Amino acid sequence: VLQMLRLTLSSLSRVSALPRIAATSFSTSQRLQNEQRQVKFVTTNGVHIGKANIGDSLLDVVVNNDLPLDGFGACEGTLACCTCHVVLSPEHFARVDKMNPACEDEMDLLDLAPALSDESRLGCQIKLDSADPILLEVTVPEVTRDARTLE
């Protein structure tokens, strides 16, 4: 009888664990879906959309999706140029500026960027966050200038 009771308890333990396993799998699947984003780069030559993960920079999105933005991120994110200059929406800029304000080096490079606006940032410094919408839109100014080639 004692052995039968142990087997029954063991079976109940396995059965009661099933819903938790299913819930965990669902939560993991839902979490992964929540960590994926798309970024729409609006340029004068058209619109380019790339897939992204939370933590990717806007430069990562361009590179990982092989988006045709000539010269974008020429210094590969080392804060040596301003070719990844983007203009964020006012809401996105305010959120990013609270979490990750521009450092002095980025501000210096932005001073050299043409078509500078109040919501300008360097794409290599903007990382996607879980607070970002599923489809994030940024504007890429028509003219870029590589600060490394200025004298």
Q: Tell me: pLDDT of 119 over 50.
A: yes
Burial class (CB in 10 A: 0-12, 13-18, 19+), 59: buried
pTM of the shown model: 0.74
| pLDDT digits 0-9 by tens, 29-67 | 445 555 899 999 999 989 999 999 999 999 999 999 999
CA distance 129 to 145: 28
